[in-house]
C-alpha cells in the first residue's frame, strides 16, 4: 500500500509486460435489447462481442471518446450521455501476441441514448469492429462477450427504477 492508499499489488509472476488502458463505453438499450459490437480480426479478442466504445486518446475526455467511438463503430450519434459506472479489470495471462501480459483495463461506462429511427452500421473502415447489432438481453448469455458486458448485464439485472 502506498501513502495514497492504493490497493494495487505487484504482479506475482516475474516479467510480464504491463499494460494499462483507459476506455469509454456506451450502454445503449432499446426495447429489451442492448447494442453490441463484434471485434474484427484487427482487434482482440477476435469474434467477441463488446459494448460500443474503446480507448481514450491522449488529451481526449472519456465523454468525448464515447461519442467518437459510438459513431465510428455504429454510425449512431449520441443524443444524451450520462456517466453511470466504472469497471476495472486486471488479467495476467498471454495477450494478443502471445506475450505474457499484466493487463489493467479501466472502463468508464455511460448510459447513452440514440435516435430511435436510425439503424446501426459500422462506419470505421479497417477498424476493430466488423459487426454491430441490437441483441435481446435474454440472448446475450449465448454470445462470447468481454467481461465488461457481463458486468453491465449483472448491474442491469439488479436495477430497479
Q: State the cell numbers at 105.
A: 483495463
Which range marks the domain in which residue 55 is found?
A: 22-87+110-143
Q: Does residue 1 surpass a pLDDT of 80?
A: no
Whole-number mean pLDDT of the chain? 90
Q: Which DSSP symbol is given to 161?
A: -
Q: Please, what is the end-to-end C-alpha distance for the chain in angstroms?
A: 38
Region of 145 on the Ramachandran plot (φ > 0 left; ψ -120 to 50 alpha; else beta): beta
Query: Quick check: is 95 in a domain?
Result: no
Query: Quick check: is 15 in a domain?
Result: no
Q: CATH number of the domain at 114, please.
A: 3.90.79.10
Domain count, the chain: 1
Among the listed residues 86, 111, 117, 114, the one whose alpha carbon sits nearest the alpha carbon of residue 161: 111
Query: Quick check: is 97 in a domain?
Result: no
Query: Quick check: is 14 in a domain?
Result: no
Query: Quick check: is 136 in a domain?
Result: yes
- d(Cα 102, Cα 15) in Å, to the nearest integer? 9
Query: Quick check: is 133 in a domain?
Result: yes
- d(Cα 138, Cα 64) in Å, to the nearest integer? 30
CB-CB contact of 63 with 105 (8 Å): no
Q: pLDDT tens digits, residue range 74-95?
A: 999 999 999 999 999 998 887 6
Which position has the higher pLDDT, 92 or 53? 53
| pLDDT for the residue 44 | 85
Query: Quick check: is 17 in a domain?
Result: no
Query: Quick check: is 124 in a domain?
Result: yes
Q: pLDDT tens digits, residue range 90-138?
A: 988 876 677 788 989 999 999 999 998 899 999 988 899 999 999 999 9
Amino acid at each position: 500500500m502506498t501513502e495514497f492508499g492504493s490497493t494495487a499489488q505487484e504482479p506475482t509472476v516475474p516479467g510480464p509486460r504491463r499494460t494499462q488502458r483507459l476506455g469509454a463505453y456506451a450502454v445503449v438499450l432499446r426495447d429489451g435489447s442492448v447494442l453490441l459490437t463484434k471485434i474484427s480480426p484487427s482487434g482482440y479478442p477476435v469474434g467477441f462481442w463488446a459494448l460500443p466504445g474503446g480507448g481514450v486518446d491522449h488529451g481526449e475526455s472519456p465523454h468525448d471518446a464515447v461519442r467518437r467511438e459510438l459513431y465510428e463503430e455504429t454510425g449512431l450519434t449520441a443524443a444524451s450521455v450520462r456517466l453511470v459506472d466504472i469497471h476495472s479489470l486486471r488479467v495476467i495471462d498471454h495477450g494478443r501476441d502471445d506475450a505474457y501480459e499484466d493487463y489493467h483495463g479501466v472502463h468508464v461506462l455511460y448510459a447513452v441514448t440514440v435516435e430511435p429511427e436510425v439503424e446501426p452500421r459500422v462506419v470505421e473502415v479497417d477498424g476493430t469492429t466488423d459487426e454491430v447489432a441490437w441483441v435481446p438481453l435474454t440472448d446475450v448469455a449465448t454470445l462470447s462477450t468481454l467481461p465488461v458486458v457481463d458486468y453491465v448485464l449483472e448491474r442491469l439485472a439488479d436495477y430497479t427504477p
